[in-house]
Amino acid sequence: MLTQIIAHRGSKGTRPENTLLAFQAALDDGADGIETDVHLSKDGHLIIMHDETVDRTTNGTGRIMDLTLAELKRLDAGQSFDPLYAGASVPTLDEVVQLLIQQNFTGIFNLELKTNRIHYDGIEALVADYFNHHEVPFKLVYSSFYGKSIERLHALQPDVEFDSLFQAKQQTAKRLHAEHVVLGYHPDIRWVRLHWLLLPKVQLRPWTVNKERDMRFCYRHRFAGVITDYPGLAHRIRVKVQGG
């Protein structure tokens, strides 16, 4: 099987991350999967953004949990990346899902719950409820650095795939895998290059695989997937190494 190319926050290297522009670019580049992050606004909306604050990627300031959806929608999420994309807005989970449905996307949708620094009370139930009430054509995969979020979601949606994120310490990931909660690991590529032979036989989707040499390494070893900021480049390298 071909190693799947999963676009990290969309085509993060070529478009403003975690915007509809980035997700559309990833689809246009032939990505097999989309990886993104979800938080909770002050008024209980599921918001797509990586950081806990809006400072880095928008023209605003403050924590997502302290801002309403209306306040978040007034922010510009494209200008700081490139003036060409000025006016891009902060999307909700539903807006991203609707885009993928409109584009007939049938690949992997990897949703990371950003609960390792701020735990949003009830976010697991809100995410589970959303997908329980929306039929989607793609494969849903949940991941998190916070093991309890995975456990809570697993109790609510036991049929969904769960993968564990980690940078160096994998004890929680191994425990969840042993308990048949987690099917795969999403480790840092730097860690993988040093330790991957020590891991049990699980699905490996390393992040963030942006260098050509790291892409070739993952393709040669037939990892399940690569999470990358450059899905277009990853696709071109995969054709050279794996033939497709």
Q: Which residues are catalytic?
A: 8, 50
Nearest to 203, CA basis, from 218, 190, 191:
218
Nearest to 207, CA basis, from 215, 199, 219:
215
**Residue 238 parent element (H or E):** helix 231-242
**Residue 47 parent element (H or E):** strand 46-48
Rounded-to-integer distance, Cα 242 and Cα 44, Å: 44
Rounded-to-integer distance, Cα 29 and Cα 105, Å: 13
The half-sphere exposure of 234 on its side-chain side, counting CA atoms within 13 A, is 34
Nearest to 33, CA basis, from 217, 219, 228:
228
Q: What residue spans of 19-170 are helical by DSSP H? A: 20-28, 69-73, 93-102, 123-132, 147-156
93, 110, 184, 226, 233 from 238: Cα distances, Å:
30, 20, 21, 11, 9
